[in-house]
Amino acid sequence: MRSSVVVWLAILALVASCTSSARAPRKKDYARALGEGENALELVTDRSEYPDFRAMYGDSDSILRALRESRGWFDKPSSKRHYPVAGFTHDRVAYSLDRLIEIVASAQSPEELSGLIALNFDVYRSVGWDGSGEVLFTAYYQPIFDGSRQPTAAFSEPLYGLPADLVKAEDGTPLGRRVGETLVAYPTRREIETTNLLKGQGLELVYLKNRLDAFIIHVQGSAKIRLPDDTFVHVGYAGKTDRGYTSIGQELVADGHIADDDLSLSAIREFFSRRPDLLDDYLQRNDSYVFFTETGPGGPYGSLGLPVTSYRTIATDKTIFPRGAPCAVATRMPKLSPGGSDRVEDFVALVCDQDTGGAIRSPGRCDVFVGTGEAAERVAGHTKYEGRLFYLMAKERP
């Protein structure tokens, strides 16, 4: 009898274990890198899995502006060194831009736009984080902060230009720090800040009010700085160290300070306003450090040196996706309302792959540029939705 009980208990334990395992959802690792031999893009052979190109009709001026900026980049001889990538040649991507410009400029209805794209283009889909095509979409923006050319009691946190000892590859990939004839890893953010490594080299471009403002610019990659005389300094990304990026937002969630569902830039600001004693520790958990250059008023500019366009420029991992290529996205984004009660709507749009970012390092991540200033910050701070990322390649090849 006792042996029967033991057997039944063992069976029940096994069933419970299996049930528990079945119920436990697989953790979504959007930062998962491609495995050896894996491709970031796959051809979509079933048209029912295409995005709704009809919903992309309208506001042709903004997408044409972005497409033409990308096409101009392909005319630069230096653009050829970034191809082929993901199986696509430089000429095919340039031709794809030409064809899409023609189609967007000529289409007279949503149905015509959809039909022409489906007829003239092969549609490729990002494999996403797990091969299913699921991509996590976030958003970024250009902040506007008060600042000063000189350090003052009110403005003491600098943004730095590129140091002479930072070594980059021809394509801009950071390689490390030159020390004599040796190449070593660049110091971490914590090491840079606690040793004042960059101070006194004449690299200071502008000074901000506080460390969090400066850090936000590091994450966003560009900013407009309002000086005391009401003029502006425009700064943009110039390079970064070879250290990895860590999201302080995710660190705050992991430590139980902010609920994952409540995570936003405003929530992060509010937390550090209550706990300024924790600011340095969390900021310095992100080992990566970003350097800047003055860009002039025509930007902001993406990693291709092109002006980015609101809701038409995306940032992706440029080691696996074709730079400057025409794309389509299907996800959701907040829609601002004047009263402050935002709603979430489908965001289905033609876009261009014109930028990259420190946190965008896998086929499961994509960042959408949403503009400049406080309204854009509101959108960017609340955008975290799953969706699909597509690349459009002309069927006819030159």
381 found inside a domain: yes
- Residue 153 sits in the same domain as residue 262: yes
Q: Residue 4 — very low, low, confident or very high, per pLDDT cuts 50/70/90?
A: very low
In degrees, rounded to 5, the angle at the alpha carbon of residue 356 between the alpha carbons of residues 353 and 357 is: 150
Q: Any idea what DSSP says for residue 135?
A: E
Q: Give the closest residue to 142 by CA, choosing from 360, 259, 313, 398.
A: 313
Q: In the prediction, which pLDDT does 340 show?
A: 58
Q: Choose the weakest-confidence range: 58-67, 133-142, 312-321, 330-339.
A: 330-339
Residue 248 and residue 154 share a domain: yes
Question: Quick one: 129 exposed, middle or buried, by C-beta within 10 A (0-12, 13-18, 19+)?
Answer: buried
Q: Look at residue 126 and tell me whether its pLDDT is greater than 80.
A: yes
For residue 213, what are the CA distances in angstroms to 71, 220, 272, 279, 326?
Answer: 34, 11, 12, 12, 33
Using CA atoms, how far apart are residues 380 and 360, in angstroms rounded to an integer?
15
Does 283 lie in the same domain as 175?
A: yes
Instruction: Give the per-residue pLDDT at 13.
Output: 40
Q: How far, rounded to the nearest angstrom, does the alpha carbon of residue 325 sit from its chain's CA centroid?
A: 16
| Token representation of residue 279 | 């600011």
Burial track 324-356 (b if 16+ CB lie within 10 A, e otherwise): bbbbbbbbbbbebeeeeeeeeeebbbbbbbbbb
Residues 104 and 121 in one domain: yes
Structurally, the chain folds into a number of domains equal to 2
CA distance 145 to 143: 6
The region of weakest confidence among 3-17, 23-37, 157-171, 329-343 is 3-17
**Is residue 357, in this structure, part of any structural domain at all?**
yes
Residue that finishes a domain, picked among 294, 322, 356: 294
- The reported pLDDT for the residue numbered 24 is 53
**pLDDT at residue 14 tops 50:** no
Same structural domain for residues 176 and 279? yes
Q: Are residues 315 and 272 in the same domain?
A: no
Render pLDDT for 230-257 as a digit per residue (tens, 0 to 9).
999 999 999 999 999 999 999 999 999 9
Decide which of 294, 328, 346 is a domain's last residue. Answer: 294
pLDDT digits (tens, 9 = 90+) for 302-312: 989 999 999 99
State the pLDDT confidence band at 2, using cuts at 50, 70 and 90: very low
Specify whether 191 is located in the same domain as 272: yes
| Single residue among 270, 294, 318 that ends a domain in this structure | 294
What is the pLDDT at residue 25?
A: 62
**pLDDT score of 10 more than 50:** no
Same-domain pairing of 239 and 275:
yes
Q: Is residue 118 part of a domain?
A: yes
CATH number at residue 243: 2.40.240.50
Work out the average pLDDT over 365-379: 94
Rounded CA separation 229/225 (Å): 11
**How far is Cα 356 from Cα 140, in angstroms, rounded to an integer?**
11
Which tokens belong to 252?
A: 């705050």
252 and 305 housed in the same domain: no
Query: Do 241 and 110 have their domain in common?
Result: no
Domain assignment of residue 26, yes or no: no
Q: What is the CATH number of the domain that holds 94?
A: 2.40.40.10
- 110-119, 268-277, 376-385, 386-395: range with lowest mean pLDDT: 376-385
- Does residue 177 sit in helix, strand or coil? strand
In a domain, 18, yes or no: no
**Distance between CA atoms of residues 73 and 352, nearest Å:** 12
Give me the torsion for CA of 25, 30, 33, 36, rounded to 10°: 50
Range of the domain at 90: 41-140+301-394
Q: Can you name the residues that pair with 207 across neighbouring β-strands?
A: 148, 158
Residue 95 within any structural domain of the chain: yes
The average confidence (pLDDT) of the chain is: 91
pLDDT at 329: 99
| Same structural domain, 62 and 146 | no
Q: Half-sphere exposure of 197 toward its Cβ, with a 13 Å CA cutoff?
A: 18
Q: 287 and 230 in one domain?
A: yes
Query: pLDDT tens for residues 39-94?
Result: 999 999 999 999 999 999 999 999 999 999 999 999 999 999 999 998 899 999 99
Average pLDDT over residues 347-373: 93
Tokens of 254: 């992991």
